[in-house]
Structure 1
Amino acid sequence: MIDWFKRMAAVSALAFLAACGGSDDDPPPGTLAQEATEAGFSALVAAADKAGLVPALSDASATLTVFAPTDAAFTSLATTLGFASAEAMVTALDGPTLAKILQYHVLPARKSAADLVAGGGSEATLYTFDGAAATLALNTTAGVKLTDEVLTEASVTTADVPASNGVIHVIDKVLVPPGVLNVVQMAQLNPAFSTLVGAVVDADLAGTLSDATAEYTVFAPTNAAFEAIASTVESLTPEQIADVLVYHVLDSQVLAADIPFGTPVATVLGQTITINAGTPPTITDSTDSPAGIVATDVRASNGVIHVIDKVLIPTL
């Protein structure tokens, strides 16, 4: 009798394996949360856990797309912002802040790489800012690249990792959403502003511009703009450099749609600038050469940044 049961068990096992296509078949994928955990995205999983997003990523009825930054990407973000490590950053940030950052990495539908290529120039995320879904700009001319609020690109390095409730695309940078980090942090995260950030730190203005209770408009010159006046900067005293910097700051938030073209606007320095309508708009300072506004409305938690291609010079 025992032998008969063994033979029946063996036959049943063979029949089951045949029905499933054999023992070498890959197991079905787990949920987004499970796949991220098994793939070793430790910083992402820790942030999602603290943000309270694991249940949403484990929901069997969901259909989502997750852009998953690597641990190296989280470490890069953390060290740029002054944290010792990705773990230290996740520990320091509160759950709601982490939730905003991570929701900016999630699309509310399953989008394969082919879907992203075919879908157009932008995708709406699960993160809501100013009453609307925050979007990511897409460049699909060579692979898939995503531009975030700080105007830097993340590349999809591994696409179409399947999950039972969506798909994961691995990216090489943490995407920075609007309205979460202050104006200094936003500038820190764009290498094109490294000269500006260094000057702000040296002038002891970083603390002021990081004030969570204030609202600022910062006209941010690029590194190339500073390079163009390198000899002039070398001739200035530290006090004059500080004056130059605060000449780029308004003490209220002025979005592109609200710019009072043609009207002199007082800066924090006390001297005025005039913003002129055009394509692109320009800014008149104390010199004969206007600055072009090359990008607008980089939204921070305490104001807005507009990118300019010339350093504004006050009367010194």
Structure 2
Amino acid sequence: MPQALNATPPLRLCAGVPVQATDPQQPAGAPSAANAAANASAAALRPPLGGLLDESIPCDGTSLLSAVTMQSHLATLRAAVRAAGLSSRLNTLPAGANVTLFAPTDEAFTAFATDWDFATPQLLLSSDPERLRRLLLYHLSPRALPPAELAVTPALDTFWAGQQVLVPQPFQAPSALAPAQGAVAGESGTEARISRRIRVCGSYIYLLSYVLLPGSSLYSLPPFAEYNPQQQQGKGKKAPDPPCAANSTVLDVLRANASLSMTLRHVEASGLGPVLSNLSYTPGYTLFAPTDAAWKAVAGQLQTGSSKELDSATLRAVLAAHVLPYNRPAAALHSQLYGTLGGAAAGPLFVAVSPDGVRLQTPAGADARVVAPDVGAARRPCGSSVHVVDGVLWPQTLPAAGLTPKSQPQKRM
């Protein structure tokens, strides 16, 4: 079972500001269509689609709900769809509209209900139909995402406008030699493994091992607004972004800053360089980059004695906890919880914004301060941001045994 929600750190106060699991900077409007273009350059590297599917249902009139009914492990989801009044939504999609449904299995609902103290999944379904409806819409994306595209899309828009499902990287895409199915995560940081992949005409269903949650708690979900494409017609264009270097990347910013040489070295050694240099991924990234002094300060916490001795998998896990899979310049950061590229292994990142600056905190007890926001000057990348921090944001868990940093007392902001 994936990491249970009751293991997620409770909501904490940073500088007296409640940390909320919402993103007010993300408009309650149309999900970005840019992700499709972002992955076009990687198309040649993707394996054939047919080899990535467990089942393919032709365009013979089978609806998404009918396809769910055909799966023996989705009885609870079928009941949830009925209880939430979403049967017609999954039975009749608009002409030409294809979607992606993340479908928790019966076992997933049982585990989720247990974690939230419901005796049975049925009690969970009947407790609050409107909340259930919102949760199910969070599991529905307005884009058709085949497995190969899902694997290279770190953040997915949903029908809960402004809330995204995250895809921890690197995604373990399935192949003939590697049966791993990959995973997705809610904004809460809780991961759910993908156990089955089904194409239904032009739409996709991914069976999940857990229920995704957009907030830090079932009882403190972010404000709800449903995505409606018709409401987006006629809206004005957003204000232009400030000047930037069109071909600059996050790595270019690191190379131009002498105090970030260790972060640059670790990014390259971890294999994250190509990810952060991918100009075709238009949602962009936000990197909280530790200074060289910050890396040296944590050397004594490692059994290796130096971060330079960490293997690439461990470095990747550590650095992924410093990356948001979307662009957040300093002006767009708010006091709230953010999901990172590290997914559940990293845990959510708590951000507190105050007149004194921006502070960061992780479930592992790391506490850092943004000492230089939006670095880059003339080399600032378009669509991504780099903020220099004075501490290393340790993830909750690391892949290599014996390399977990020594426990530190948690600091209050």
- What's the TM-score once normalised by structure 2's chain length? 0.39
Q: For residue 67 of structure 2, what is the aligned residue in structure 1?
A: 35
State whether structure 2 residue 208 is matched by structure 1 residue 181: no
Unpaired segments ≥5 residues, structure 1: 1-24, 185-227, 229-252, 265-273, 283-291, 296-308
Residue number in structure 1 paired with 2:158: 125
2:206 is paired with a residue of what secondary structure? strand
- What does residue 356 of structure 2 align with? 261
Q: SS in structure 2 opposite 1:77?
A: helix
Q: 2:200 aligns with which of 135, 141, 163?
A: 163
- CA offsets per residue over residues 117-157 of structure 1, 9 Å max, x none? 24x321111112xxx24342343531332121221211211
Aligned to 1:234: none
How far residue 104 of structure 1 moved from its aligned partner, in angstroms, is 1.3
Q: What amino acid maps onto 2:98 in structure 1?
A: T
Q: CA contact under 8 A between 2:163 and 2:214: conserved in structure 1?
A: no
Q: CA deviation at 1:84?
A: 0.7
Q: Equivalent residue of 2:210, what SS?
A: coil
Q: What SS is found at the alignment partner of 2:77?
A: helix
Distance in 2 (alpha carbons) for counterparts of 1:133 and 1:169: 18
Residues 47 and 310 from structure 1, CA distance in 2 versus in 1: closer, same or farther, beyond 3 angstroms?
Answer: farther
User: Which residue of the partner structure matches residue 50 of structure 1?
Assistant: 83
CA contact (8 A) 1:64 1:166 kept: yes
Residue 114 (1) aligns with residue 148 (2): yes
Instruction: Give the distance between the partners of 2:212 and 2:66, measured in 1 at CA.
Output: 22
8 A Cα contact 1:261 1:277, kept in partner: no
Instruction: Find the aligned partners of 1:263 and 1:123 in 2 and give their Cα distance.
Output: 26
Cα distance in 2 for partners of 1:32, 1:91 equals 23
Residues 27-62 of structure 1 show CA distances to partners (whole Å, capped at 9, x for unaligned) of 946211111112131111111111111111111433
- How many Å separate the matches in 1 of 2:112 and 2:408? 28
Equivalent residue, structure 2, for 1:224: none
Alpha-carbon distance in structure 2 between the residues aligned to 1:98 and 1:121: 25
Give the letter aligned to residue 36 of structure 1.
V
SS of match in other structure, 1:258: strand
When residues 154 and 64 of structure 1 are mapped into structure 2, their CA distance, relative to the original with a 3 A threshold, is same
* Equivalent AA in structure 2 for residue 134 of structure 1: Q
Q: Structure 1 residue 73 and structure 2 residue 105: aligned?
A: no
**Relative to 1, partners in 2 of residues 1:122 and 1:27: Cα closer, same or farther, differing over 3 Å?**
closer
Change (3 A) 1:311 1:51: farther
What are the within-5 Å matches in structure 2 for residues 166-315 of structure 1? Answer: 166-178=203-215, 181-182=218-219, 254-255=335-336, 256=351, 258-261=353-356, 276-278=369-371, 280=389, 310-312=408-410
1:105–1:140: structure 2 CA closer, same or farther, 3 Å change rule?
farther
Instruction: Quote the offset at 1:102 in angstroms.
Output: 0.9
Identical positions, percent: 24
User: Alpha-carbon deviation of 1:158?
Assistant: 0.9
Residue 231 (structure 2) aligns with: none
The equivalent position to 1:87 in structure 2, one of 88, 113, 122, is 122
AA aligned opposite 1:39: Q
Instruction: Write the distance in 1 (CA, Å) between the matches of 2:58 and 2:408.
Output: 57
Partner SS, residue 151 of structure 1: coil
Q: Which amino acid aligns with 2:90?
A: L
In structure 2, C-alpha distance between the alignment counterparts of 1:263 and 1:139, rounded to whole Å: 26
CA RMSD of aligned residues (A): 3.5
- Cα distance, 1:50–1:89 mapped onto 2, change above 3 Å: same
User: Within 1, Cα distance between the matches of 2:164 and 2:122?
Assistant: 26
Cα gap change, 1:122 to 1:140, in 2 (>3 Å): same
The CA distance in 1 between the partners of 2:194 and 2:410, in whole Å, is 37
**Contact kept? 2:165, 2:184, Cα under 8 Å:** no
* Conserved? CA contact 1:66–1:169, under 8 Å: yes
Contact 2:358 2:370 in 1 (8 A): no
Alignment check: 8 A CA contact 2:335 2:353 kept: yes
The alpha-carbon distance between structure 1 residues 179 and 59, as it changes in their structure 2 partners (threshold 3 A), is: farther
- How many residues matched? 186
Paired letter, 1:35: A
Q: 1: distance between equivalents of 2:93 and 2:213?
A: 28
One-letter code aligned to 1:42: A
Distance 1:142 1:46 in 2: 31
Which amino acid in structure 2 is aligned with residue 84 of structure 1? A
Which has the greater radius of gyration? 1
Give the AA of the match of 1:311. P
- Checking the alignment, whether the CA contact within 8 Å between 2:101 and 2:204 is kept in structure 1 is yes
Q: Secondary structure at the match of 2:151?
A: helix
Alpha-carbon offset, residue 73 of structure 1: 0.4
Tell me, in whole angstroms, the C-alpha distance in 1 between the residues paired with 2:394 and 2:81.
35
Q: Would you say the 8 A contact 2:369–2:390 is kept in 1?
A: yes
2:130 to 79, 96, 101: 96
1:281–1:106 distance in 2 versus 1, CA, 3 Å: farther
Report if aligned partners of 1:134, 1:178 keep a CA contact under 8 Å in 2: no
Q: Name the counterpart of 2:189.
A: 151
